Structure 1
Amino acid sequence: MTTDTASVTPQPTTLDTAPPAGRPTTPRRRGARSRRGISGWVVLAVVVACALLMLFPFWIALVNGFKTSEDYISGSPLTLPSHLSFQAVVDFWKGVDFGQKLVNSVVISGCVAVAGVALSLLSAFAIGIGRIRGRIWILAIFMVAFTIPQEALVYPLFVLTRDLDLYDTRLGVIIISAVLQSAFGTYMLASVLGAFPSEVLEAARLDGASRFQVLRHIVLPLTRPTLGVLLTFFFIWTWNDFFLPLILLPSASNQTVSVSLGALSGQYTSDPTALAAASLVGILPALVFFLLFQRTLMRGVNLGAVK
């Protein structure tokens, strides 16, 4: 008996398409992505709002610094000037001898930044790599020294600078500010150098390298991004410092930008355009310095995050 093979058709096999246990389905994945997308937009909106709030004072100073007094009175602080007027900036620059104040701030901030970084590197090298005794207590002392308010140090620093003939001199402010800034720099660099690879240091010592050669050829190149971050911080902190220059630099020829701006707030209270011009001129140098060293700052921050 023969069977007709042509009439026998193979039945298609059905596969189990149910997702395995523990694996989310496609709608859930899309829902999670949509929730992450919404949260990302919310975070972006908050960041943009905070950035606008921070930039608002700069915008007020920029708009009103190039107005005339009549233009300011006829309009509002938020309106754009009808025409650009540099008279307020020129009057402020000549009235307070702002060029000399700018030179003082640049010299003091630059010297403090360089000296503070150098002191921080040498101290952190001795603590982190030299492994001196009591390094934990020394770091604690540096941290406490950094957290002491400047108001508590005014009288001792005044007496010290007066006895050493450094009162009302830029050198006295440079030395004091560099030592104070190096407390934070030492604490930061000592933690970095404490985790320095010991194999590299041991290999350099076996090759006959001295401590100075290890510092110059090994430690300095590897810590250059961190030193760049400290240099930027020290410059901006010293530029914005108001209290110490106010106490230690009473002469008008030695005053810094921040002190001159604080002294002028009462003199030009009735002229908002002069106050805006003074604020704008005082902000621009620090902003330019930050923009020039922004790449160095971000490189150091990213390197620290990767480590």
Structure 2
Amino acid sequence: MSATTKVPTEDPRFDGPPSRPTGKARGSRTRKTPGDWVMLALAVLVGLVIAVPFFMIVINSFKSPADYNTSGPLSLPTSLYTDGLVAFWERVNFPEKLWNSFFISGMVAVLAVTLSVLNAFALGIGRIKGRMWIVVLILLANMLPQEVLLYPLYFMFREVGLYDNVWAVIIIFTVIQSAFGTYLLSSVYSTFPKEMLEAASLDGASRFQILTRVVFPISRPTLSVLMIFFFIWTWNEFLIPLTFLVSNATQTVPVAITVLQGDRLMDVTTTSASALLGLIPTLVFFLIFQRTLTRGITAGAVK
């Protein structure tokens, strides 16, 4: 029994199962620096500053005039008062105003994005002559204040019979919003890969097919962001709807809020209730498309 037994040695090629990272290694990835805490504190502070006006609108919407006169705008209501909401709802026919704002904003968002895509495709990919001058002219037109445009637009739409018509506002904002969209998309389409466009052209695709089957699917996140912004911007517009929509049946929500204000008297609680009702649709719209907006903004940052 003198046979010796060999002790198996470890194979240097076998390192064993991968070792798990220690708690220290895992914790070092999520450890925050003082700069991160400062940025977090600033973000919370900015969020609170932004939320203060909304909080004041909410608490004053459910406060009676007597309670407001007694305790002021910063205190919580002693009882739930909904007469302000009901008064504004019935006084201005709020469902009608809500539909007008939704119809105008939705049509402007769709038409402005469509016009922006067509213009930007011609400027950024089509490379038409005088492209730079056209882009500069569009940018300058987008920088003009709305007050400068009021009288020429008023004279023009009165002559064609579209004054006090929602389509007048739709046409105006479609042109205004598409000017910004054209400027933005033309710079994006100018960097579009030429190889992809040439490959589609060699396959027999027409210009329209290149636009709808190549350019549009790739730029869809950017177009979604533009559509959301155009909708919200148009919804919040006040001056042009106030000028061109004079009858009660064509007014929008921001214009309807002004009927509660007089020269020397203003019902604060009813005005707060009207502001709350006007804010809720845009807030719901933003929450619904928040994920689409986030994906569209970060689409160009991650390859």
Give the TM-score range, shorter chain.
0.7 to 0.9
Q: Given the alignment of the two structures, is residue 163 of structure 1 paired with residue 159 of structure 2, yes or no?
A: yes
TM-score (norm 2): 0.86
1:254-273 Cα offsets, whole Å, 9 max, x none, are 11111112332327944221
Q: Do structure 1's residue 95 and structure 2's residue 91 form an aligned pair?
A: yes
Q: 2:100 aligns with which of 93, 104, 108?
A: 104
| Other-structure match for 2:63 | 67
The aligned length equals 275
In structure 2, C-alpha distance between the alignment counterparts of 1:263 and 1:37, rounded to whole Å: 52
- Which amino acid in 2 is paired with 1:204? A
Counterpart residue type for residue 264 of structure 1: L
Q: Verify the 8 A CA contact 2:261 2:267 in the aligned structure 1.
A: no
Q: What does 1:209-288 align with in structure 2 at a 5 Å threshold?
A: 209-266=205-262, 269-288=265-284
2:129 is equivalent to residue 133 of structure 1:
yes
1: distance between equivalents of 2:252 and 2:275?
Answer: 14
Of 195, 202, 206, the match for 1:206: 202
CA contact (8 A) 1:268 1:275 kept: no
Structure 2: distance between partners of 1:154 and 1:123 = 25
* 8 A Cα contact 1:268 1:274, kept in partner: no
CA distance in 2, matches of 1:73, 1:148: 43
Match of 2:188 in 1: 192
* 1:161 Cα offset (Å): 0.3
* Residues 51 and 206 of structure 1: CA distance in aligned 2, closer, same or farther (over 3 Å): same
Deviations 1:187-245 (A, max 9, x none): 00011111111111111111101111111111111010000010011001101111111
Letter of the structure 2 residue corresponding to residue 229 of structure 1: V
- CA shift at 1:125, angstroms? 0.6
Is the counterpart of residue 124 in structure 1 residue 127 in structure 2? no
1:81 Cα deviation (Å)?
2.1
Q: Confirm or deny that 1:175 pairs with 2:171.
A: yes
Task: Tell me, in whole angstroms, the C-alpha distance in 1 between the residues paired with 2:223 and 2:296.
Answer: 8
Q: Is the 8 A contact 1:109 1:238 kept in 2?
A: yes
> CA, structure 1 residues 253+267, in 2 after alignment: closer, same or farther (shift >3 Å)?
farther
Q: CA RMSD in A?
A: 1.9
CA distance in 2, matches of 1:106, 1:219: 29
Structure 2 distance, partners of 1:262, 1:202, is: 55
Maintained 8 Å contact 1:101/1:260: yes
State the structure with more CA Rg.
1
Q: Which is worse superposed, 74-83 or 273-282?
A: 74-83
Q: How far does residue 80 in structure 1 lie from its aligned partner after superposition?
A: 2.1
Structure 1's unaligned 5+ residue stretches are 1-29
Per the alignment, residue 299 of structure 2 pairs with 303
Q: CA separation in 1, counterparts of 2:72 and 2:163?
A: 45
Q: Give how far 1:37 is off.
A: 2.0
Determine helix, strand or coil for the equivalent of 1:305: coil
Q: TM-score, normalised by structure 1?
A: 0.85
**Who is 2:78 aligned against?**
82
User: Any conservation in 2 of the 1:105–1:256 contact (CA below 8 Å)?
Assistant: yes
Supply the distance in 1 between the matched residues of 2:101 and 2:299 (Cα, whole angstroms): 30
1:116–1:179 contact (8 Å) kept in structure 2: yes
- Structure 1 residues 147 and 299, CA, compared in 2 at 3 Å: closer, same or farther? same
Please identify runs of 4+ aligned residues in structure 1 that moved more than 6 A: none
Which consecutive unaligned segments of at least 5 residues does structure 2 have? 1-27
Task: Give the 3-state SS of the residue equivalent to 2:301 in structure 1.
Answer: helix
